[in-house]
């Protein structure tokens, strides 16, 4: 009903708008006044977490994209090797695990069969399993050693939005907590990141306030045959997520690539007028990455692509090569997906609506996939 949708036409629009609160609620009570994390609900003793020598993340779809981003954060902040794999592939390749492996299963619904089977397999090998889940008491957390709940509230639309942002928050918390208990790189950088994490609800709100030009652009692309998405570093999984949203909602050919892979094949796809969305990392910090992606944008534009560039406020280097420029607030590189994903959600939702599709219930899809 209209009341359930809180005045929005679709649950998806309501859920996109709820993201600042979802992010804030997922952080709530987990950052102490001393700037340290308290994740009491983790139930895996700190001693065990100190001895973990490998993290393996398993998930499907959008939750898998959250896991890909988590890998960058975990390895950078903790120096623990981390693998991430789609749950449906994981157990069939006879993965190597033991009691010093931490398996992180990410699932909004907590009922995804592929993810459940992967975690059962992990537990049989003696691994510790931590679930990141949005649904209280669902099967995946019940069968895990511990659970960190995301507090997105119920997500009704089939396309995941607010659950994804809260999965990212939970992944950052796990990575930072591992750093905290193990003392790795624990210092100013990490304290700074925790502070910045606290500012993210405000930044998500800022992005939401500037989405009208994105909606307008989406409507103008309703007849495009295909849209490509490029990113580097954590922008790469964001590109994959942008493409997945467009496939699910607009039934369009959409593909995400690591921008550095362009010249290894995908650049052959570029033709006159092809819309290409590029997620640009911050020019601060790892500026080499930034420079490389700016040359990628030049390359595709020279071949006729219509460039849609998502770049941080104040990044002037991209301006000459952006046919459309979408600004996001400046954040630490690893946290950028919390803001860069939002325009892609809005873009896909609006484009699908312009094509006349029902965005809450896309064809052929179920909210949770409870078969293998
Ligand atoms: C996202 O938009 C999808 N509908 C889908 O990829 C989903 O993220 C995936 O099926 C995993 O679901 P889960 O988080 O409930 O396990």
pLDDT at 185 over 70: no
Say whether pLDDT at 67 is over 70.
yes
Contacts of 289 (CB under 8 A, 6+ apart): 232, 233, 281
pLDDT value at position 28? Answer: 96
Q: What is the pLDDT of residues 203-242, one digit of tens each?
A: 999 999 999 999 999 999 999 999 999 999 999 999 999 9
ipTM of this predicted complex? 0.98
Pocket perturbation via mutation, ligand 1, pick of 16, 108, 110, 116 by most ligand atoms within 8 A of CB:
108
pLDDT of residue 153: 96
Tell me what percent of the chain is helix, strand and coil, each rounded to the nearest 5. Answer: 50, 15, 35
- What would the two tokens of residue 195 be? 């502070």
Confidence of residue 58 (pLDDT cuts 50, 70, 90): very high
pLDDT for the residue 163: 98
For ligand 1, atom 9, name the residue with the nearest CA: 61
What pLDDT score does 187 carry?
A: 73
The pLDDT value recorded for residue 3 is 76
367 is catalytic: yes
Do the Cβ atoms of 60 and 115 come closer than 8 Å? yes
**Predicted TM-score (pTM) of this structure:** 0.97
**186 pLDDT higher than 70:** no
Q: Which of 21, 292, 355, 367 is catalytic?
A: 367
**Which pLDDT band holds residue 189 (cuts at 50, 70, 90)?**
confident
Q: Which of 211, 214, 230, 197 is nearest to 338 (CA)?
A: 197
pLDDT band per the 50, 70, 90 thresholds, residue 336: very high
Of the candidate ranges 95-104, 112-121, 175-184, 238-247, the one whose mean pLDDT is the lowest:
175-184
**Rounded distance from Cα 280 to ligand 1 centre (Å):** 25
pLDDT of residue 42: 86
* Banded model confidence at residue 280, pLDDT cuts 50, 70, 90: very high
Greater model confidence, 307 or 158: 307
Lowest mean pLDDT among 32-41, 140-149, 340-349: 32-41
pLDDT in tens, 2-25: 778 888 999 999 999 999 999 999
Integer Cα distance of 89 and 114 in angstroms: 9
Protein residues with CB under 6 Å of any ligand 1 atom? 60-63, 107-109, 112, 115, 158-160, 248, 365, 368-369
Residue 16 token pair: 């996109």
Per-residue CA distances from 290 to 169, 218, 257, 270, 329 (Å): 24, 26, 16, 21, 16
The predicted-structure confidence for 288-307, as pLDDT tens digits, reads as follows 899 999 999 999 999 999 99
Confidence of residue 340 (pLDDT cuts 50, 70, 90): very high
Q: Within 10 A of 146 (CB to CB), how many other CB atoms are there?
A: 17
* Ligand 1 nearest-atom number relative to CA 115: 16
Residue 303 tokens, joined: 């071949």
Nearest CA to ligand 1 atom 7: 61
Note the pLDDT of residue 197. Answer: 95
Q: Please give the mean pLDDT across all residues of the chain.
A: 94
Closest atom of ligand 1 to 245 CA is: 2
pLDDT value, residue 40:
83
Q: How many Cα neighbours within 13 Å face the side chain of 324?
A: 23
In the predicted structure, residue 370 carries a pLDDT above the cut 90: no
Q: What percent of the chain has pLDDT over 70?
A: 99
Q: Which atom of ligand 1 is nearest to the CA of 140?
A: 16
Pocket test of ligand 1: the residue of 63, 70, 164, 370 to mutate, having most ligand atoms within 8 Å of its CB, is 63
Residue 369 CA, closest ligand 1 atom number: 10
- Of residues 320 and 40, more confidence is placed in 320
Chain centroid offset of residue 367 CA: 18
pLDDT of residue 78: 92
Specify the pLDDT at position 317: 95
Q: What is the CA(60)–ligand 1 centre distance, in A?
A: 6
Among 62, 107, 250, 352, which residue has the most ligand 1 atoms within 8 Å of its CB, making it the best to mutate? 62
* Cα 322 to middle of ligand 1, angstroms: 32
- List the beta bridge partners of residue 133: 107, 149
């Amino acid at each position: 009903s209209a009341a359930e949708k809180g005045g929005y036409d679709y649950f998806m629009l309501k859920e996109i708008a709820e993201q600042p609160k979802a992010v804030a609620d997922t952080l709530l009570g987990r950052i102490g006044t001393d700037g340290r994390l308290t994740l009491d609900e983790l139930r895996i003793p700190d001693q065990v977490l100190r001895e973990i020598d490998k993290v393996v993340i398993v998930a499907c779809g959008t939750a898998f994209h959250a896991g890909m981003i988590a890998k960058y954060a975990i390895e950078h902040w903790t120096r623990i090797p981390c693998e991430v794999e789609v749950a449906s592939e994981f157990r069939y390749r006879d993965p190597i695990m033991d009691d010093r492996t931490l398996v992180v299963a990410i699932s909004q619904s907590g009922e995804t069969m592929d993810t459940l089977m992967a975690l059962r397999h992990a537990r049989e090998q003696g691994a510790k399993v931590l679930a990141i889940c949005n649904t209280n008491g669902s099967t995946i957390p019940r069968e895990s050693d511990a659970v960190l709940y995301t507090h997105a509230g119920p997500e009704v639309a089939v396309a995941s939005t607010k659950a994804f942002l809260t999965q990212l928050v939970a992944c950052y918390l796990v990575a930072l907590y591992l750093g905290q208990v193990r003392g790795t790189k624990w210092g100013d950088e990490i304290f700074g990141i925790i502070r910045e994490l606290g500012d993210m609800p405000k930044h998500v709100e800022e992005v939401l306030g500037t989405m009208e030009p994105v909606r307008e652009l989406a409507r103008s692309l309703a007849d495009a045959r295909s849209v490509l998405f490029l990113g580097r570093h954590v922008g790469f999984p964001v590109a994959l997520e942008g493409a997945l949203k467009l496939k699910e909602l607009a039934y369009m050919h959409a593909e995400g690539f690591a921008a550095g892979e362009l010249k290894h094949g995908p650049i052959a796809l570029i033709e006159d007028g092809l819309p290409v969305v590029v997620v640009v990392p911050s020019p601060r910090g790892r500026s080499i990455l930034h420079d490389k992606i700016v040359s990628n944008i030049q390359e595709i534009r020279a071949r006729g692509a219509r460039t849609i560039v998502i770049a941080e406020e104040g990044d002037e280097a991209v301006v000459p090569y952006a046919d459309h420029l979408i600004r996001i607030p400046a954040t630490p590189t690893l946290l950028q997906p919390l803001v860069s994903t939002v325009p892609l959600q809005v873009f896909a939702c609006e484009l699908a609506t312009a094509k006349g599709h029902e965005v809450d219930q896309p064809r052929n899809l179920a909210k949770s996939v409870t078969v293998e």
